[in-house]
Amino acid sequence: MVSDPRQLFRIVFHLQRWALRFLALIFVLALLLLLRRFHTVNTELVPERGGTYIEGSVSQFQPLNPWFTVTNNVNRDIVSLVFSGLLKYNPESKKIEDDLATVAISRDGRVYTLTLKDNILWHDSTPGEPHPVTPEDVLFTFQTVQNAEFPNTLLRENFRGVSVEKVDARTVRFVLDEPYSFFASNLTLGLLPKRSFEGVPIRKIDQALDFGLKPIGAGPYAFKSLVQTDLSTEVTLERFPRPIDPDYFIKRIVFRIFPDYATLLADIRNLDGVRLVPRNDKGEPIVPRRFVAINYTLPQYVALFFNLGHPVLQDPKLRLGLQLGTNKQAIVDTLGESVIVDTPLLELDTSNWRYNYDPTAAQGALFESKWNLPEKARLQRLLEIRETNFTGALHADPIVLLDTGAALTLTGSLTQVKMGATVNGIPIQQQPSASGSWIVALPTTGGTGSLKLGQNLVQLLDPKGTVIDTVYVWRTTNTREYRRASAEQILLQQFMDSRSSVLPPDQRITVQNLAVEQGMLRRRVPNDKTDVRVNDRGQRLTLRLLTSSSPPTYRKTAEVIRDQWAALGVEVVLDVPDTRSAFEKKLISRDYDILLFGQSLLDNLDSYPYWHSDGIQHLEDSPTGLRLDAYNFSQYSSFQADALLTQIRQTFNEGERQEALSELRKVLAEDVPAVFLYSPLYTFAYHQDVHNVSIGHPSLHSDRFLTLHKWYILQERQFKPGKSWWSFLPWLFSVQ
């Protein structure tokens, strides 16, 4: 017990003080929790400017110049941010819109007037020495491309028949020889500063490495550095503010270019995005789970192009049969793809027009072609022999078993044949035992009229040497062969009785029930493979299919096609050159029966270069005269298609364009110049800490950066409209 009251008071006071401290702590914690809850409820996360986006890719770095970027290469991605064109493609609206300039198009569609926007500067500008984009830069960019010595001939073709001129200090004008509704797409080409190329000969402008390794553009990001590390090549870009831009949140972009995907994955923890992610056998993207994968397609298709310059493929029934016999679903399943394509006119909705895989219809189309399965050709030949042998003045069994030294006796009526006639050069004799009949014996020992082993043509000639009648006799000395030939004759009779409905339905046979073995018909069994079709001259239907070794999916697709068409009786020989140059040499010279390859329509979806007869390669030209821009891989020529393609290019009326596209679809469907297979599926992946990523409908892989102004990495909390810390007390008393 405590005897001293003062000591008791001190103990009580001490306990009260600790109790007050505890209550104060509880109060502070409660207040902090309330403040935190208030802040969370009354604020929202918003993008914050800053941060670095690091993207990995598998490729090889090349000098940066929009004149010489390689399609689908990472260089095009970098160039799309460093350089800007007069106009740009919007992947969300799928339209061409203003960029560095505004555009006005004349009513006849031949004159494009571009007015540069105010205060557009090149990246080498400084506060003391600004370097503005001028009409002279525009003229330099496009007139250089048009120069005959310009090294990129394919790009030069885009501006053939176009004149460009300066109007005033901010305006340039493009005048076309004829209307071209897709010309605006050509004006998305990145502009280059004139003064950076002073003194550089045009023919060597692709060798201007000083510019290519430290480029100067007018795009939303400026080139900062190029660094080679042990793992990758790093290109760093930094934000370059422009008055024409919306707000960009990401300050810096680093492109890391790796030699292979395994090396990229080894450094995946340092990446925010991955370009062109490969997929496994199940079609799943090969990236860690913390990455978000976006699948997308480009306006591209992979097709089998029939070389219509080769006589064998000029048979429309053959082409139709090959199309109907192509199982596109099996192809995309094998490749891990998903988008089947049936027409090169990708802007059309063809959901109700698909040529479905139909092997029965395919066999029917091929049945009507000049190429027949061996069993049909053999059956047709047997029917012809039977009709020949049992009509006319001369009759004979189509098969005989005769040893050497024996003779085949043939007889006939003297009412049809006069004495003095011969059979295979042997005079006929009057048959003693049958008045009014003649007889002849054909030897097997050689000499005049002798029957050889195998097929023999036996002819009856009148005394003047004119052919009266003909029969075919197949001779053998082998009992086993004779039994096979006899069984074939029984099948022939069964087929004839089936066709004339003499036999009951369950006993009837068709050509599909027959197979050829060692040159003779027999009944088909379930494990019989389809033989190769032949024509009337006995030539086999063998087609050489050319494709590229890159990407590997082309070879895999070709192997599936080979197996599918084998079931149709078509032999496909694959030709996959080891090098890109060897493939391109065969492609340009049209050294193939069928080409498996892809084509890209870009943002304007213009099919003219690929299907108009202007794109045909004229092989009569010298090898050095063959065109690199001859994109009509099928050598397809159609007056009707040409007229529609020209109309689609020249009209600015959307209704007329759609009507012409629908009509062109029908023409291509009827002519079957190619079998369209699929549109490749691509995957882009980004880390979950990168926000608001969308890519819309890109026409190129680099188009994903056309929405970059919406992306952000850093975030901060801001009070919602009408809220602040002063709102805490009202909020507190309103909390239930």
Confidence grade of residue 635 (pLDDT, cut at 50, 70, 90): very high
**Final residue of a structural domain among 523, 548, 568:** 523
What percentage of residues in the chain have a pLDDT greater than 70? Answer: 94
Task: Find the helix or strand (DSSP H, E) in which 731 lies.
Answer: helix 728-734
Confidence grade of residue 376 (pLDDT, cut at 50, 70, 90): confident
580 or 40, higher pLDDT = 580
Say yes or no: 112 and 175 in one domain: yes
Strand partners, 306: 594
The number of helix segments (H) and strand segments (E) in the chain equals 18, 31
* Predicted local confidence at residue 349, as pLDDT: 63
Say yes or no: 546 and 669 in one domain: yes
Cα 366 to the center of its chain, rounded Å: 26
Say yes or no: 98 and 159 in one domain: yes
pLDDT in tens, 128-177: 899 999 999 999 999 999 999 998 888 888 898 999 999 999 999 999 99
With respect to residue 355, please indicate whether it lies within any of the assigned structural domains.
Answer: no
* Predicted local confidence at residue 735, as pLDDT: 66
- Using CA atoms, how far residue 645 sits from 539, 613, 658, in Å, is 38, 10, 12
Say yes or no: 447 and 383 in one domain: yes
Say yes or no: 519 and 401 in one domain: yes
With respect to residue 361, please indicate whether it lies within any of the assigned structural domains.
Answer: no
- Using CA atoms, how far residue 140 sits from 172, 193, 205, 618, 660, in Å, is 12, 8, 12, 33, 37
**Final residue of a structural domain among 523, 554, 579:** 523
Average pLDDT, the chain: 89
**Final residue of a structural domain among 209, 240, 257:** 209
Alpha carbon distance 415, 736 (integer Å): 124
Say yes or no: 243 and 330 in one domain: no
pLDDT in tens, 215-260: 999 999 999 999 998 889 999 999 999 999 888 999 999 999 999 9
With respect to residue 110, please indicate whether it lies within any of the assigned structural domains.
Answer: yes
* Predicted local confidence at residue 715, as pLDDT: 81
Say yes or no: 580 and 659 in one domain: yes
Provide the CATH number for the domain around residue 335: 3.10.105.10
Say yes or no: 233 and 203 in one domain: no
Of 347-361, 556-570, 671-685, 704-718, which range is least confident? 347-361
Alpha carbon distance 97, 78 (integer Å): 21
With respect to residue 390, please indicate whether it lies within any of the assigned structural domains.
Answer: yes
- CB contact at 8 A, 84 and 191: yes
What percentage of residues in the chain have a pLDDT greater than 90? Answer: 56
Q: Beta strand 714-719 with 407-413: parallel, antiparallel or unpaired?
A: unpaired
- What dihedral do alpha carbons 262, 264, 265, 269 form, nearest 10°? 160
Say yes or no: 414 and 515 in one domain: yes
With respect to residue 249, please indicate whether it lies within any of the assigned structural domains.
Answer: yes
**Is the predicted pLDDT of residue 566 greater than 70, yes or no?**
yes
Provide the CATH number for the domain around residue 697: 3.40.190.10
* Predicted local confidence at residue 27, as pLDDT: 73
Provide the CATH number for the domain around residue 179: 3.90.76.10
Range 580-591 average pLDDT: 92
Range 690-697 average pLDDT: 92
Of 172-181, 624-633, 652-661, which range is least confident? 624-633
pLDDT in tens, 168-227: 999 999 999 999 989 999 999 999 999 999 888 988 888 888 888 999 999 999 999 999
Domain that holds residue 437: 374-523
* Predicted local confidence at residue 732, as pLDDT: 67
Alpha carbon distance 265, 246 (integer Å): 34
With respect to residue 20, please indicate whether it lies within any of the assigned structural domains.
Answer: no
97 or 70, higher pLDDT = 97
Radius of gyration of the chain (CA): 40
Say yes or no: 294 and 305 in one domain: no
Say yes or no: 182 and 205 in one domain: yes
Taking phi over 0 as left and psi of -120 to 50 as alpha, with beta for the rest, 335 belongs to alpha
pLDDT in tens, 438-447: 899 999 988 8
pLDDT in tens, 586-623: 999 999 999 999 998 888 888 999 999 999 988 876 65
**544: helix, strand or coil:** strand
pLDDT in tens, 288-303: 889 999 999 999 999 9
With respect to residue 365, please indicate whether it lies within any of the assigned structural domains.
Answer: no
* Predicted local confidence at residue 408, as pLDDT: 92
What HEC string does 415-430 produce? CCCCCCCEECCEECEE
Confidence grade of residue 23 (pLDDT, cut at 50, 70, 90): confident
- Tell which residue, 274, 326, 285, 286, has the closest CA to residue 304: 326
Q: What is the number of structural domains in the chain?
A: 4
Single-letter amino acid, residue 96: I
Provide the CB-side half-sphere exposure for 470 (13 A, CA).
8
Confidence grade of residue 69 (pLDDT, cut at 50, 70, 90): confident
Dig out the tokens for 238 from the structure: 């930094």
With respect to residue 724, please indicate whether it lies within any of the assigned structural domains.
Answer: no
pLDDT in tens, 492-527: 999 999 989 889 998 998 888 888 888 899 998 888
Say yes or no: 309 and 292 in one domain: no
Alpha carbon distance 56, 167 (integer Å): 44
Alpha carbon distance 240, 522 (integer Å): 79
The strands making up 162-168's β-sheet, listed across from edge to edge, are 101-105, 111-116, 171-176, 162-168
